[in-house]
Structure 1
Amino acid sequence: MTDTTDMPETPRVLSPRDEARVRFAMDAERVARQTLDLLPIDPDAPPGERLRRTLALKELMDQLVEHAVIAEREEGTTWAQLATAAGISKQAAHERWAGAVTAWASGGRTLFPPDSEYSTLKTARRLDQVHADRHPDHPKDAVSSGLDAVRFPGAVAAEAARRERAQGLHHRLALLRDRLTVLHDEQRLLTEGDARPEARAAVLTRLADAEQEVADLYDELTGAEPELADDHRARAERSRANTVSCREYAELLTANATTEAAR
């Protein structure tokens, strides 16, 4: 059996798969603690207190479900497999949880911020002890021993390089999203102000260019984050469709302006 005290201190940031696994485990512990806190009976509790605390637990459970989905996705579980596990359609599963997966990816796929004093590996060790206290017959490293960082320490450097590449791509995407917001606002104001077709066509062309850049970045992310590749491909396709739509509308406005000028 592996002694958790002999585990290496590094790396502080683990693979996205490990990060998602430990986040799920940490939330599972919180659910367990909060559930046990409901056991004592306080005859003097104010009306509604039991319901309030139970609803708070339900909110935490909903979060745990989201984190379970993220951990599954990081392990390569498909949306179809998740749908089967949840007893719903693939489309319903995607609609329900894709936003959480996207937010996790955009946030860097880490349990703690880069400047945090906490580390995922130390959290896994703490959870080892929590589990061992309740199940003394289980391995003392029941959480940490399942992590890639412990099982395959040689892969840490390659994972760090891939993570750095993905973070750079997500940063560029965030800048592009800001640019798209500005362009959409500009397009709306021009449309509401009944601006000349040429001006609206110019904004639409810039929108098309930005959407194409977004599609290209999502294509790159399929290689940097292969576990989430199908989500990235879907977003790339949506951005490409937006590109085509914006270009076609810009061409239509330009053609109409040319026709009006010729009259």
Structure 2
Amino acid sequence: MTETPAAPETPRVLSPRDEARVRFALQAERISDEALDLLPIDPAAPRGGRLRRALALKELTDTLINRAVIAEREEGTTWAQLADAAGITKQAAHERWARAVTAWARTGRTVYPPDSAYTALEAARRLDRVHADRHPDHPQDAVSSGLDAVRFPGAVAAEAARRERAAALYARIEPLDARLARLSDEWRLLTEGGARPEARAAVLTSQAALEEETAALYEELTAAEPELADEHRESAERARSNAAADREYAELLAAKAQAGTEAGPVSAAPPAGGDTAEEGSR
């Protein structure tokens, strides 16, 4: 008698596309609950109470929009398509939501931490029940049945490998960001203290080298996270632009030091890489 092959084990962490979908659905559920809580009418409610609660609901809706954009990007929706859906320009859409997308990428593209006792799939199955209670005429698995983990269980191994590769690249970027932040602080102290131009030039040169290394890692991320390739290419281009500006200024400072003169007043703005360590800046 031939044995039936065992069904592949569902991973604790789903594909980034699945995780983003569940994260969006969870926020939609929260808004639904909060909105229903507004139904009762209390004639003795404090003045302004309804408005405060409505504004709180708007904040939740703004978060839902961010999560919708993230889910769309994970599904391959372009920035032009997002702009068309929102009725704005592509540049405006990118300026409004790109930071949310890059922050999602840098924090692992998951609903819950990998060591959490709860998983996105468990959340999806709970949402199945929530949806079925409100819409008994709909499928009982309206949420979970749309996930890649349920529809294409054979893709689990490939997805896990891509996640590991991306995690390794982010692990290499993180200390570079920390070193760039320290160099930015060093630059500020040297500038405020009137340090010689050659000392400041050395800091800028070191900073440029780190920025170039960071750019190369973001280029590698375009292959590990192809859905977010546009964001990673932009981060790489920004880092290279910062590096070029820092090297140019370092050469100017070095030339003036060689001539035995001070570089003159320094702009209050930080060197090109001064914002490297900001969360979501890439």
Deviation of residue 171 (structure 1)?
Answer: 2.1
Distance 2:247 2:49 in 1: 57
Describe how 1:52-67 pairs up with structure 2 within 5 A. Answer: 52-67=52-67
Residue by residue over 1:133-191, the C-alpha shift from the partner in whole angstroms, topping out at 9 and shown as x without a partner, is 11111111111111000111010111011111111211222221111111011111112
Question: 1:8 Cα shift?
Answer: 7.3
State the Cα distance separating 1:44 from its structure 2 match.
Answer: 2.0
Task: Give the equivalent residue in structure 1 for 2:213.
Answer: 213
| Mapping of residues 189-200 of structure 1, within 5 Å | 189-200=189-200
Q: Given residue 132 of structure 1, which amino acid in structure 2 is its aligned partner?
A: A
Matched, 1:180 2:191: no
TM-score, scaled to structure 2: 0.88
Alignment-derived partner of residue 11 in structure 1:
11
Task: Report the equivalent of 1:162.
Answer: 162
Amino acid of the structure 2 residue aligned with 1:110: T
Mapped partners of 2:9, 2:132: distance in 1: 21
Q: Distance in 1 between matches of 2:260 and 2:59?
A: 58
Q: What residue identity is the alignment partner of 1:178? A: A
Shift of residue 10, structure 1, vs aligned partner: 2.2
Runs of 4+ in 1 over 6 A off after TM superposition: none
Q: TM-score, normalised by structure 1?
A: 0.94
What's the counterpart of residue 102 of structure 2?
102
Residue in structure 1 matched with residue 140 of structure 2 by the alignment: 140
Question: Given the alignment of the two structures, is residue 42 of structure 1 paired with residue 50 of structure 2, yes or no?
Answer: no
* Number of aligned positions between the proteins: 255
Q: Tell me the percent identity.
A: 73
**Cα distance in structure 2, aligned partners of 1:258 and 1:23:** 57
How many Å separate the matches in 1 of 2:51 and 2:249? Answer: 54
Unaligned runs of 5+ in 1: 1-6
User: Counterparts of 1:53 and 1:99 in 2: how far apart (Å)?
Assistant: 27
The runs of 5 or more residues in structure 2 that have no matched partner are 1-6, 262-282
Query: Partner residue of 1:117?
Result: 117
Q: Is the 8 A contact 2:18 2:147 kept in 1?
A: yes
Q: In structure 2, give the amino acid aligned to 1:164.
A: E
Distance, in Å, in 2 between the alignment partners of 1:30 and 1:108 is 23
RMSD: 1.3
